[in-house]
């Protein structure tokens, strides 16, 4: 009888221990999910670059982190739509030259562009050159931008196809350096005169921002009327998601799942860790 009693006692203890173990695991997972969610909402969130509209600074195949605290927090900071009221808390305004991620004003998809003009600024474009508050934004031509041809990069109509000394195919683009008010310098690409190179003066409304792609002739930005899946128009600052901070991975698109060595050979190692 004593042995049976002790055995029963031991079995009960094991069952409770097992229950406590599962409870601890579930609680750990809840805390982990909450920590990841808070990190994405308040600290950093990952984004990928799917096009060449931000060349030469960002390439198709770049993966970056966006700082979520730079401009305040809103429903756009969440990785899903929970129907929060419009507006931002702890809101702050971007600066000219910032690389910003925002929600498209119509379809809500993520876009990345560079802030060029702020509320109250008058902006126009003449022959491809920005005119900000009545003054031409200075720009100078610098060495061409060259990028290797890959699955993620093809030569657009504005590029010269070249071959380097090793026989590798390159796309070569005309590159200029612009100096925004305040002295911030940015590099842009120019294919020649296109539809967006002449834009009549507009004044940026309160609470908005005028954004452009660095690849000026391959970007549907604030120079064009907002349309779903297309141009973004003049963007409300309440649509801000974050500020591009650092490139955490970059690939030329040559990786194949069944060939693990290509995961490394396709990486653009010189871009990983680049601060934006």
> In 67-78, which positions are buried (b, 16+ CB within 10 angstroms) versus exposed (e)?
bbebbbbbbbbb
Catalytic residue among 68, 74, 77, 113: 113
Please measure the distance between the N-terminal and C-terminal CA atoms of the chain and give it in whole angstroms.
75
Give catalytic status of residue 53 as yes or no. yes
In 10 A of CB 126, how many CB atoms?
13
CA atoms of 271 and 264, how far apart (whole Å): 13
Catalytic residue among 45, 53, 222, 250: 53
Is 248 domain-assigned?
yes
Give the model confidence (pLDDT) of 220-236 as tens digits. Answer: 999 999 999 999 999 99
> In 86-102, which positions are buried (b, 16+ CB within 10 angstroms) versus exposed (e)?
eebeeeeebebbbbbbb
Sequence-distant (≥ 6) Cβ neighbours of residue 231 within 8 angstroms: 220, 221, 222, 223, 224, 225
Give the model confidence (pLDDT) of 173-223 as tens digits. Answer: 999 999 999 999 999 999 988 989 999 999 999 999 999 999 999 999 999
Give catalytic status of residue 265 as yes or no. no
Is 132 domain-assigned?
yes
Is 88 domain-assigned?
yes
Give the model confidence (pLDDT) of 75-91 as tens digits. Answer: 776 666 555 567 777 77
How would residue 1 be classed by pLDDT, with cut points 50, 70 and 90? very low
Q: Are 192 and 104 within 8 A, CB to CB? A: no
Range of the domain at 190: 46-265
How many domains are there within the chain?
1
pLDDT of 136 over the 80 cut: yes
Backbone angles phi and psi of 103, in degrees to 5: -90, 135
pLDDT at 89: 78
**Which CATH number do you get for residue 90?**
2.10.109.10
Give the model confidence (pLDDT) of 58-117 as tens digits. Answer: 999 999 999 988 898 777 766 665 555 677 777 789 999 999 999 999 999 999 999 999
Is 250 domain-assigned?
yes
């Amino acid at each position: 009888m004593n042995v049976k009693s002790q055995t029963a006692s031991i079995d009960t203890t094991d069952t409770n221990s097992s229950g406590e173990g599962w409870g601890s695991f579930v609680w750990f997972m809840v805390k982990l999910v909450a920590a990841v969610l808070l990190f994405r909402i308040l600290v950093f969130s990952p984004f990928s670059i799917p096009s060449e509209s931000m060349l030469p600074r960002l390439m198709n195949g770049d993966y970056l982190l966006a700082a979520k605290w730079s401009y305040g927090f809103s429903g756009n900071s969440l990785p899903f739509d929970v129907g929060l009221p419009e507006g931002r808390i702890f809101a702050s305004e971007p600066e000219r030259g910032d690389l910003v991620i925002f929600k498209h004003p119509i379809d809500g998809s993520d876009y990345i562009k560079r802030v060029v003009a702020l509320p109250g600024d008058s902006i126009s474009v003449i022959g491809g050159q920005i005119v900000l508050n009545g003054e031409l934004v200075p720009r100078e031509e610098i060495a061409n931008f060259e990028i290797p041809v890959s699955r993620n990069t093809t030569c657009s109509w504005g590029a010269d196809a070249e071959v380097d000394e090793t026989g590798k195919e390159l796309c070569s683009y005309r590159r200029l350096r612009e100096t925004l008010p305040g002295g911030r310098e940015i590099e842009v690409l120019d294919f020649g005169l296109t539809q967006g190179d002449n834009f009549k003066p507009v004044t940026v409304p309160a609470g908005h921002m005028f954004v452009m792609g660095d690849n000026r002739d391959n970007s549907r930005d604030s120079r064009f009327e907002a349309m779903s899946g297309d141009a973004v128009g003049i963007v409300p600052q309440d649509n801000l998601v974050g500020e591009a901070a650092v490139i955490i991975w970059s690939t030329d698109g040559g990786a194949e799942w069944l060939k693990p060595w290509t995961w490394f050979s396709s990486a653009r190692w010189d871009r990983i860790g680049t601060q934006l």
